[in-house]
Amino acid sequence: MIQEGISETAVAAGASAGAPARRIDLAIEGMTCASCVSRVEKALRKVDGVEDVVVNLATNRARVKARPDVDTAALSDRVDRAGYGARVIEREQQGDIERERTEHVRAARRKFLVAAPAAAAVMLISMLPMILPGLSGFAMRRMDLLNIIQFMLTSVVLLYSGRDFFILAARSARHLAADMNTLVAVGTGAAFILSSIIIFAPGALHGVSGNTVYFDTAAVVVALVLLGRWLEARAMAHTSDAISRIVSLLPNIAHRVSPVDPLAVTDVEIEFLHVGDLLMVRPGESVPVDGTLLEGASALDESMMTGESMPVEKLPGAAVLGGTLNSTGSFTMRADAVGDETAVASIIRAVRDAQASKAPIQRLADRVAAVFVPVVIGIALLTFAGWLAIGHAGVATALINAVAVLVIACPCAMGLAVPTAVIAGTGNGAERGILIRNAAALERAGAITTVVFDKTGTLTNGTPEVVAVMALGAMPGEEIIRLAASVEERSEHPIARAIIRHADAGNIRRAPVREFLSETGMGVRGIVDGHLVRVARPGRVNGMKSIDDIPAGSSPVIVEIDGEPAGMIAVADTVKASAAGAIRALASAGIATVMLTGDSAAVANAVGAELGIGEVIAGVLPHEKADRVRSLRRDSGGVAMVGDGVNDAPALAAADLGIAMATGTDVAMATADVTIVGGEIARVPEAIELSRRVMRIIRQNLFWAFIYNIVGIPLAAFGLLDPMIAGAAMALSSVSVVSNSLRLRKTPERRVRRA
């Protein structure tokens, strides 16, 4: 993709030809906050020929829309000059990028695990006289040694675990910007430098005792912020899991049939298939690509693509989709779409596009830091200069007061504000089966006005069950079930399993079957108690073209005895017991509900009417689900999508908040922001309420984190607050933040309040 040495003539020719713009994906290194995203976007927009830029902090990617003649090396160079790294993402580099993400998570974890015990040791030493008053005399006699130990431990924390804060803060300073890294670097650096001067050059600061050091401030702040960075890195790494799991739906090998000799079958990797190839698909195998069934018949499980729980019968001429599961018969198909043109590829593109288009979360701490940090530094400099100007105040007094300003502004409480609330809130949710991925999901949940539900496996149980048994003659319903279950004993069809489960639940004993025969697309038959019993769809039974009075949304099968219709069994995917209550809870709070499903309109409308859902949209294909969700976001604001299947993945990624049922597929859970353990739909309104509570607590925490700064900074600047008291104020702010977060450990009211 890198174009070198493009002549001006070629550029002009390309431009004049009006060639369509191309899309270039870049992997960006070094971004940590929203201000980083802004700087990268501005740098890329400066390249001539760039039409549009979208930078995503969560995936560390930049998507550039540019003229075909734009040199990708120029894009990378611009990003490098802005202080970040950039690399063009080629198809063959995807595995390398995923490995780099894994290593990034490991590095973040490693740095935290080094910082945490060292910071704990520093804090323990600093608090030793308070924890064990009997050792206060020993601590005073050995203060020099204890200070040296604190210095060494804090040096390890700052130079190894926290060095990135200082590197990134310096990078921001070169661009006259400030972020959370600047806040951490300035506060911890000031505390460390002042403490080092106190113990190594005590004469330089008159009136300051050797036991007034602030190493614990520096070490603990770095450890806490690193904990948040580690958790954030883990969440980012999950963005690639959904795509790899979708790809796993496809088989690695396909059976290609020779067009000359139908008996000659060759195994080939699906990457080498071409449009028009003849392929054999055996029972139990996944369909390799999209195509048309030419010979044979089968029932395909398309639930991972359409959400329809019932197998779909396929006869010659029917379309088949790659990634669907062939459950019964063997068939030959023609490949109509391969590679990037398949339905699975379109789902992958939809997930990638939705993730890339999400705006980076504007964390409150970063937004405030962009203004707060330069102001604090300015106040500290003015404090130093002001005290020097007084005349009788020396350099030491001026420096102490300036450092007091920086120490009181050190983000100790700010470092606790978000992680403590998130840990307490997500812990409470986990106890009740609500798994929340990160703070970003919590923030988005606060603006939800519409909840969109998938049907199969989300509002319903996802497996067919017998909902009615109707006699078409004199034979009682129990006998109809006994005969049907007997002949279905040898079938693996989901409807057969539903009939058998119904018989077992009623303690109906099955009889032996002779001459069993399964006819793909036609039903099953066998001899039971001397009678020919056949179970088939109405259209496959003589004289049974349609049936009236069947339960809405169900699939009927006819039980034929000796050639005569004896009874009808209605099978349907039943709704979950808690679904209606969840819909009522959302509706009572003014949150609109929508059902979005690939199922038929008849089935979808029946389920929607039963549950009282506000709007039902049926017959929607996987890529169309994401489009519908985007449309709802434009029309109604914040949208949450609740689903469980592969076909829901694009919509889950496109929504403001994706909620997956843990009873569904790994793909859905990897794409979603919230996972409901056990598939208990009643947890959906609880998850939204919990998320809103956590965000309220976070805002309160940030308020308390800054109120001490607002009050303390003027006091420090006027010499009324020495660094030691500033440290105590910081500790008090931290206690208030932690105490406030612990309120989230209590289970909230089980209702959803209006946003």
How far is the C-alpha of 185 from the C-alpha of 32, rounded, in Å?
Answer: 14
pLDDT (tens digit per residue) in 316-346? 998 898 888 887 788 999 999 988 788 777 7
**Whether 6 contacts 59, CB under 8 Å:** no
Mean pLDDT of 143-165: 89
Ranking 2-11, 312-321, 355-364, 365-374 by mean pLDDT, the lowest is 2-11
**Whether 625 contacts 645, CB under 8 Å:** no
pLDDT of 143 = 67
Query: Radius of gyration (Cα) for the chain, nearest Å?
Result: 33
The whole-chain average pLDDT of the chain stands at 78
How far is the C-alpha of 613 from the C-alpha of 441, rounded, in Å?
Answer: 25
pLDDT of 542 = 55
Closest to 567 in 3D by CA, of 468, 495, 501: 468
391 pLDDT higher than 80: no
**Whether 86 contacts 29, CB under 8 Å:** yes
Closest to 411 in 3D by CA, of 734, 34, 176, 36: 734
How far is the C-alpha of 707 from the C-alpha of 702, rounded, in Å?
Answer: 8
728 pLDDT higher than 50: yes
pLDDT of 42 = 85
pLDDT of 710 = 80
Which three-class secondary structure state does DSSP give residue 88? Answer: strand
733 pLDDT higher than 60: yes
Percent of the chain with pLDDT over 70: 74
pLDDT of 5 = 35
* Catalytic annotation, residues: 454
Do strands 85-88 and 22-29 pair parallel, antiparallel, or not at all (unpaired)? Answer: antiparallel
How far is the C-alpha of 454 from the C-alpha of 642, rounded, in Å?
Answer: 6
Cβ-proximal residues to 560 (8 Å cutoff; 6+ apart), any chain: 533, 534, 535, 536, 541, 566
Q: Which pTM does this prediction carry?
A: 0.57
pLDDT of 580 = 92
452 pLDDT higher than 60: yes
**Three-state DSSP string of 405-463:** HHHHHCCHHHHHHHHHHHHHHHHHHHHCCEEECCHHHHHHHCCEEEEEECHHHHHEEEE
**Whether 323 contacts 343, CB under 8 Å:** yes
DSSP tag of 93: G
pLDDT (tens digit per residue) in 93-135? 445 556 666 777 888 889 999 999 998 898 888 777 666 655 5
Query: What b/e sequence results for 459-494 when a residue is b if at least 16 CB atoms lie within 10 Å of its CB, and e otherwise?
Result: bbbbebbbbebeebeebeeebbbbbbbbbbbebebb
Percent of the chain with pLDDT over 90: 17
List domains and CATH numbers for the chain.
Answer: 8-89 (3.30.70.100), 249-341 (2.70.150.10), 434-460+576-692 (3.40.50.1000), 463-575 (3.40.1110.10)
How far is the C-alpha of 263 from the C-alpha of 258, rounded, in Å?
Answer: 8
How far is the C-alpha of 456 from the C-alpha of 13, rounded, in Å?
Answer: 54
pLDDT of 617 = 92
181 pLDDT higher than 90: no
Of 541 and 532, which is predicted with more confidence?
Answer: 532
C-alpha dihedral, 550 to 551 to 552 to 553, nearest 10°: -100
In terms of average pLDDT, the best of 15-24, 76-85, 505-514, 544-553 is 505-514
How far is the C-alpha of 543 from the C-alpha of 424, rounded, in Å?
Answer: 64
Which three-class secondary structure state does DSSP give residue 535? Answer: strand
Residue 479 pLDDT grade (very low, low, confident, very high; cuts 50, 70, 90):
very high
Residue 242 pLDDT grade (very low, low, confident, very high; cuts 50, 70, 90):
low
365 pLDDT higher than 60: no
**Whether 292 contacts 334, CB under 8 Å:** yes
Mean pLDDT of 628-646: 86
DSSP tag of 266: E
pLDDT (tens digit per residue) in 606-615? 889 999 999 9
Of 560 and 244, which is predicted with more confidence?
Answer: 560
**Helix-strand-coil split of the chain, %, nearest 5:** 55, 20, 25
34 pLDDT higher than 70: no
Ranking 281-295, 321-335, 344-358, 427-441 by mean pLDDT, the lowest is 344-358
pLDDT (tens digit per residue) in 206-229? 545 545 677 887 888 788 778 767
pLDDT of 88 = 84
Residue 434 pLDDT grade (very low, low, confident, very high; cuts 50, 70, 90):
confident
DSSP tag of 474: S
**Whether 651 contacts 643, CB under 8 Å:** yes
700 pLDDT higher than 50: yes
How far is the C-alpha of 633 from the C-alpha of 638, rounded, in Å?
Answer: 6
